[in-house]
Structure 1
Amino acid sequence: MTTVPLPSLTDARLTLEARVATLTLDRHDVRNALTGTGLVDDIVAVAEWVNRCDEVSVLVITGAGSAFSAGGNVKDMAQRGGDFAGDVAEVAERYRRGIQRIPLALQGVEVPIIAAVNGPAIGAGFDLANMADVRIASDRAKFGETFLNLGIIPGDGGAWFLQRLIGYQRAFELTLSGRVVGAEEAREYGIVLEVVAHDALLSRVGELAAQFAAQPPKATRLTKRLMKQGSRMELKDFLDLCATFQGMCHNEPEHLDAVNRMLEKMAR
């Protein structure tokens, strides 16, 4: 088992307990904005750490304070400062070296990611939630693909994630209208799996994370890889990959341990 020290973070907090890593965005003073803070670097560092640390089976992402994430810093946009300063080439390069590192990093995370959406997830904050495998929302959560309202496009890959999550037509409507939807409407669209009372959010997410974390860890990581590959591979190629992964699983001690536990249960 590979034990890797927790990374040093600037604007977020990270804990690891019972194989569940919890990343809390901790810039509630700016509603956990992803630009103009150290959160991009923090999220990328945690994604890389998770893949190196065998003691992690689940990653939970949530926000401190009243918001999950407000996305981009609108004040910086108004002043053409920070990540939004410069000509076309400069802004484009800053996106590539900045916020666009998040979708690439999270898409490569080998363990299940659960977004515990504690409040508004707006713009790039909405997209961040959609990069998770599962979203559980507080009844105080709101969601909005609001880029067009500011005269910009989803520059962090949000248009790629949203249509794969809820289909092209609904994703198109939400993106082009820029409207903000509440937690229950988001559940109806399939954006979130469940909506729970605000005070019960972390408890419910903890239950789900514990269920995932109780599964054999190596097989869990391989299953996550299969789920990601399944949407972009032809069936025959996918089945070949399944066969290889299954051969790996059958030769892991965790497989025999799980089988023996099942046999003991059946003998009772």
Structure 2
Amino acid sequence: MTLPPLEDALLAVDGRVATLTLNRDDVRNALTGTRLIDDIVAVAEWVNRREEVSVLVLAANGAAFSAGGNVKDMAARGGDFAGGVAEVAERYRRGIQRIPLAMQNIEVPVIAAVNGPAIGAGCDLANMADVRIASHRAKFGETFLNLGIIPGDGGAWFMQRLIGYQRAFELTLSGRIIDAEEAKTIGLVLDVVEPGQLMARTMELAGRIAAQPPKATRLTKRLMKMAQRMELKDFLDLCAGFQGMCHNEPEHLEALDRMLARN
């Protein structure tokens, strides 16, 4: 299997599970001022072309999951934050806003293994996954307003879909940082484990999903996403079409054979 060339991240494949690891601990895996935006987008596009991959795990090396934007660049008005209103806006469109569009279009389930602080755009990146599993060291913060800016990467769109408008509003407008246990209580993360167990727990879930019939898995994720914005009648029509496809796939007949053989 040919992997895409990456500069600031690592990609590994084990069976039907691909793992993308942010690898810029020197800047706490900041998304701006590095090549992580390009790397994330490249892997998102790559995984859609690889039928042999059923799950993508998003992890990070170092003390932090991601610090989001590079604050030093912001203070210096450099990099992605240089220039006037129109210039900065265009850099956002051509830069960090590519991540939510790419993540939203990933066809396979995405599990984020959050090892440490996920702050600002780093929190939003975790929220773009389908599932989040956190270590006890993880922290989550929509801290944009603390710096006099907004969630310019689309974070407000994702968070309220995970935990509801009221909780998302409070966290975003207060800029409060929460620990992993509170994140689990409000439904932002699925599970919280000891740091040494984070990847094992993540891979356990990834393996269970990857063991499912791959084409039906991709269609089911698409249905879950579409259900958020479709009327019921239109959604049922879509389900009927997808189910017709599934009933005519070899993987369906193979699954039936396995079930009948056990009985």
Q: 1:220 aligns with which of 217, 220, 231?
A: 217
Q: 2:104 aligns with which of 104, 107, 129?
A: 107
CA distance in 1, matches of 2:96, 2:2: 25
SS in 2 for 1:86: coil
SS in 1 for 2:89: helix
Residue 53 of structure 1 is matched in structure 2 by 50
Residue 253 of structure 2 is matched in structure 1 by 256
Within a 5 Å distance, the mapping from 1:11-22 to structure 2 comes to 11-22=8-19
Residue 134 of structure 2 is aligned to residue 137 of structure 1: yes
Residue 208 of structure 1 is matched in structure 2 by 205
Q: Please report how far the alpha carbon of residue 192 of structure 1 lies from its aligned counterpart in structure 2 after TM superposition.
A: 0.2
CA distance in 2, matches of 1:240, 1:60: 31
Q: Please report how far the alpha carbon of residue 18 of structure 1 lies from its aligned counterpart in structure 2 after TM superposition.
A: 1.1
SS in 1 for 2:103: helix
CA distance in 2, matches of 1:179, 1:225: 33
Structure 1 unaligned spans of 5+: none
Within a 5 Å distance, the mapping from 1:121-160 to structure 2 comes to 121-160=118-157
CA distance in 1, matches of 2:225, 2:261: 33
Residue 34 of structure 1 is matched in structure 2 by 31
Residue 115 of structure 2 is matched in structure 1 by 118
TM-score, normalization: structure 2?
0.99
CA distance in 1, matches of 2:4, 2:64: 24
Deviation beyond 3 Å, 4+ runs, structure 1: none
CA distance in 1, matches of 2:125, 2:159: 10
Pairwise CA RMSD: 0.5
Q: 1:239 aligns with which of 214, 218, 236?
A: 236
Identity %: 78
Residue 40 of structure 2 is matched in structure 1 by 43
SS in 2 for 1:59: strand
CA distance in 2, matches of 1:262, 1:230: 29
Equivalent AA in structure 1 for residue 256 of structure 2: V
1:120-147 CA distance string (max 9 Å, x none) = 0000000000000000000000000000
1:194-215 CA distance string (max 9 Å, x none) = 0000000000001000000000
Residue 163 of structure 1 is matched in structure 2 by 160
CA distance in 1, matches of 2:59, 2:118: 10
TM-score, normalization: structure 1?
0.98
Residue 227 of structure 2 is matched in structure 1 by 230
Q: Please report how far the alpha carbon of residue 105 of structure 1 lies from its aligned counterpart in structure 2 after TM superposition.
A: 0.2
Structure 2 unaligned spans of 5+: none
